[in-house]
Amino acid sequence: MRIKILQIFFAILFFLTGSWLYYLQVIKGPFYSDLSFRNSIRLLNISAPRGNIYDRSGKLIAGNTLSFGVFIVPQEADDIDSEMENLSGILGVSKSLLERNYKRNKTASFAPCELIRGVSKKAAISIEESRFEMPGVLVKEIPFRNYYYKEVFSHVVGYTGEIGPLELELLKPYGYNIKDMIGKDGIERFCDRILRGKNGGMQVQVDNRGREVRVMSYRKPRSGKNVYLTFDAGLQKLVYNLFDGRKGAAIFMDPNNGEIFSLVSSPSYDPNESLAKAVRSEESPLLNRAIMGVYPPGSVFKLITAMAALETKSIRPDTGFVCLGKLNIGRDEFSCWNKDGHGYVDLEKAIAWSCNVYFYHAGLLTGAEKITEYANMFGLGRKTGIELFGESSGFVPSKEWKRQEKKQTWYPGDTANFSIGQGDMMVTPLQIAAVVASIANGGFLVRPHVLKPAGNVALTNLDTEELKVAKENIESIRRGMRKVIEDPDGTGNRAASGIVSVSAKTGTVQVGPGIRPHGWFVGFAPSVNPKICFAVFLENGGSGGDAAADIAKPAVEYWFRKKQ
């Protein structure tokens, strides 16, 4: 009897075991099949090499270098501690750094864990050679974006980084994936779709340690296309170095088509390195002062005032005013920067000497509305449309704006201030460069741009717009600008060059008592048929004819010396 019960007991046990087997294999079979498949199949992304960025003559600005990374597979290592000791010896880095990275990067015992990257080829080879003494240690190639000019191009070229959650959401429809490297700023961002190419992929069967057993399918990555800039790397480097870390911006441009040869914002940052330091810096190196920074134009604006006055026939080039060093408008006294007065001045001299009194008269005769109109016509108050992110519009004040926004009356004194570029007016250095270009090219509003057309297709709208201004009026202003350099008393005569004739206009913006004024130096060369125009701005750089001119002159000379 008891034997019978024992037999039944075993029958039940085996039946239960069989039932569980049925449940696991037949009912849950598909579920576990899927798990098993995923267990052994890894989809490996093969990132396409990113396109290079070159300057106008084919000098490499941004490209990819292969760097070597050292990894360790924890469960394959015999003795992680002594292997790290070994690696630290070969690599010449401290063991504690490797240990820190190991702790930070370790995910699973079978997954390769990055210990260090940016290892030299020599070190990589010697690690490879001693592989057998260090089981579990791997050397892998990691593509690495290299910005060969470091700080010099950072505001133009930008940098790359891993795609953020927000960007991923936006860009997913365009084939972007998690962990993709994308351009975060500048041309890297603007041209990301051109530069990035198309990632390939591999379906790989792996074993329990994540080691490749066989490749099941492979899709070749398509490398990104190269991008050519209108820049001249040599000029860019020279200008950047001339700033010597001082705050400011400079643009050098072809006035005939808007191709930018150099666009510098200083101080800058090295896109090869972590941006953490740059973000914290009080100097705001991340700010692209050439396109984002807005400043009062100061006397540079007198070019627009002159244009408006001539066009509205409020003055003629030979119209003269007497400067006694100051002018009373209403109850207020408006001074010229030269307290002794300039005496009798015509337009050419007024520009050459930057006489405020002359432009008070000219501005008052023209009227604020017309000055606003011409400022807008020359592209102030709106973005130039350059292919860089974060461009500011600047601001052009108007009578209407003052009434509506500030609920104040526009006084003649406002017009006087407006005429010499002081007051509420705000411009970016790039806008000023565009204004200068229009004067240099005889009245065409060009679109400043940094990208060379790829193939036959222009990347950006490069239409130029002919301004409805009389050529002879532009010519009058150009004569004045030439005198700025050539007149013995011209405000910019220290920029006179033995190599090329330069035309320019200086600007000195008062920013408050006891603070060094901002300096502007804008112009073009040669004076006839200009090939280059420029706008240099130095924050708290003192008088525009000095420090800013000292940046412009060597750069222009470099340009023409190079052309010969």
Partner 1 sequence: MLKKQKYKDFDWALLGAAAAIFIAGLLFLFSAVYSKNIDFIVRQISWFLIGALFFIGIINVNYRKIISLGYVFYFFSIILLLLVIFFGSKRLGAQRWLELGYFNLQPSEFAKLFITLALIQYLTEHKAEKGIRNIAAAFFVMALPFVLILAQPDLGTALMLVPVFFTLLYIWGAKLRHLFFMIVSGLLASPLAWFLLKDYQKDRLMVFINPNIDPLGAGYTVIQSMIAIGSGGVFGKGWLSGTQNQLNFLTERHTDFIFSVAGEEWGFAGGVILIILYYALVRRAIEIARKTDDPCGVLVACGMAAIIGIQAVVNISMTMGFMPVVGLPLPLVSYGGSSLLVTMIALGLLESVAIHR
Q: Quick one: tokens of 389?
A: 């992110």
Q: Which stretch binds partner 1 (CB under 8 A): 6-14, 142-150, 309-317, 499-507?
A: 6-14
Which of 286, 228, 260, 168 has its CA nearest to residue 555? Answer: 260
Smallest separation, CB 235 to partner 1 (Å) = 57
Q: Contact at 8 Å (CB) between 196 and 224?
A: yes
According to the binding rule CB under 8 A, does residue 11 interact with partner 1? yes
Q: Quick one: tokens of 87?
A: 């690696």
According to the binding rule CB under 8 A, does residue 26 interact with partner 1? yes
According to the binding rule CB under 8 A, does residue 178 interact with partner 1? no
Query: Of the two residues 112 and 298, which places its CB atom closer to partner 1 in the complex?
Result: 112
Give the integer Cα–Cα distance in Å for 170 and 164. 10
According to the binding rule CB under 8 A, does residue 35 interact with partner 1? yes
Give the integer Cα–Cα distance in Å for 428 and 183. 24
According to the binding rule CB under 8 A, does residue 42 interact with partner 1? no
Query: Of the two residues 6 and 125, which places its CB atom closer to partner 1 in the complex?
Result: 6
According to the binding rule CB under 8 A, does residue 105 interact with partner 1? no
Query: Of the two residues 211 and 406, which places its CB atom closer to partner 1 in the complex?
Result: 211
According to the binding rule CB under 8 A, does residue 13 interact with partner 1? yes
Give the integer Cα–Cα distance in Å for 249 and 392. 14
Which of 399, 421, 419 has its CA nearest to residue 410? Answer: 399
Give the integer Cα–Cα distance in Å for 117 and 143. 10
Which residue among 25, 94, 408, 510 contacts partner 1 (CB under 8 A)?
A: 25
Smallest separation, CB 13 to partner 1 (Å) = 5
Smallest separation, CB 120 to partner 1 (Å) = 34
> DSSP characters for 97-117?
HHHHHHHHH---TTS-EEEEE
Which residues does 331 contact at the CB level (< 8 Å), separation at least 6?
none
Q: Could you give phi then psi for residue 526, rounded to 5 degrees?
A: -70, 170
Q: Which stretch binds partner 1 (CB under 8 A): 20-28, 150-158, 240-248, 256-264?
A: 20-28
Give the integer Cα–Cα distance in Å for 336 and 297. 17
Scan residues 186-205 and list those touching partner 1 (CB under 8 A). 205
Give the integer Cα–Cα distance in Å for 298 and 423. 9
Q: Contact at 8 Å (CB) between 83 and 137?
A: yes
Query: Of the two residues 14 and 344, which places its CB atom closer to partner 1 in the complex?
Result: 14
Helix/strand/coil for 399: helix
Give the integer Cα–Cα distance in Å for 98 and 93. 8
According to the binding rule CB under 8 A, does residue 33 interact with partner 1? yes
Sheet strands (E) in 9-112: 41-46, 53-54, 60-72
Which residue among 85, 128, 207, 405 contacts partner 1 (CB under 8 A)?
A: 207
Query: Of the two residues 85 and 212, which places its CB atom closer to partner 1 in the complex?
Result: 212
Q: Could you give phi then psi for residue 275, rounded to 5 degrees?
A: -85, -5
Which residue among 60, 90, 93, 206 contacts partner 1 (CB under 8 A)?
A: 206
Smallest separation, CB 76 to partner 1 (Å) = 12
Query: Of the two residues 12 and 279, which places its CB atom closer to partner 1 in the complex?
Result: 12
Q: Which stretch binds partner 1 (CB under 8 A): 5-13, 48-56, 285-293, 323-331?
A: 5-13
Query: Of the two residues 37 and 218, which places its CB atom closer to partner 1 in the complex?
Result: 37
Smallest separation, CB 72 to partner 1 (Å) = 16
The secondary structure of residue 139, as a DSSP letter, is E
According to the binding rule CB under 8 A, does residue 24 interact with partner 1? yes
Which residue among 213, 215, 279, 458 contacts partner 1 (CB under 8 A)?
A: 213
Instruction: Count interface residues toward partner 1 (CB under 8 A).
Output: 36
Rounded to 5 degrees, what angle do the CA atoms 82, 86, 90 make?
A: 170
Which of 199, 201, 196, 200 has its CA nearest to residue 225? Answer: 196
Query: Of the two residues 207 and 475, which places its CB atom closer to partner 1 in the complex?
Result: 207
Q: Which stretch binds partner 1 (CB under 8 A): 191-199, 207-215, 445-453, 487-495?
A: 207-215
Query: Of the two residues 32 and 218, which places its CB atom closer to partner 1 in the complex?
Result: 32
According to the binding rule CB under 8 A, does residue 7 interact with partner 1? yes
According to the binding rule CB under 8 A, does residue 208 interact with partner 1? yes
Q: Could you give phi then psi for residue 234, rounded to 5 degrees?
A: -65, -45
Site string (107-146) toward partner 1, x via CB under 8 A: -xx-------------------------------------
According to the binding rule CB under 8 A, does residue 529 interact with partner 1? no
Give the integer Cα–Cα distance in Å for 144 and 64. 5
Q: Which stretch binds partner 1 (CB under 8 A): 30-38, 116-124, 419-427, 517-525?
A: 30-38
According to the binding rule CB under 8 A, does residue 20 interact with partner 1? yes
According to the binding rule CB under 8 A, does residue 44 interact with partner 1? no
Give the integer Cα–Cα distance in Å for 52 and 60. 7
The secondary structure of residue 28, as a DSSP letter, is S
According to the binding rule CB under 8 A, does residue 344 interact with partner 1? no
Q: In a 10 Å sphere around its CB, with 0-12 CB exposed, 13-18 middle and 19+ buried, how is residue 332 labelled?
A: exposed
Q: Which residues of 176-195 are buried (b: 16+ CB within 10 A; e: fewer)?
A: beeebbbbbbbbbbbbbebb
Contact footprint for partner 1 (CB under 8 A): 2-4, 6-7, 10-11, 13-14, 17-18, 20-22, 24-26, 28-33, 35-37, 39-40, 108-109, 205-209, 213
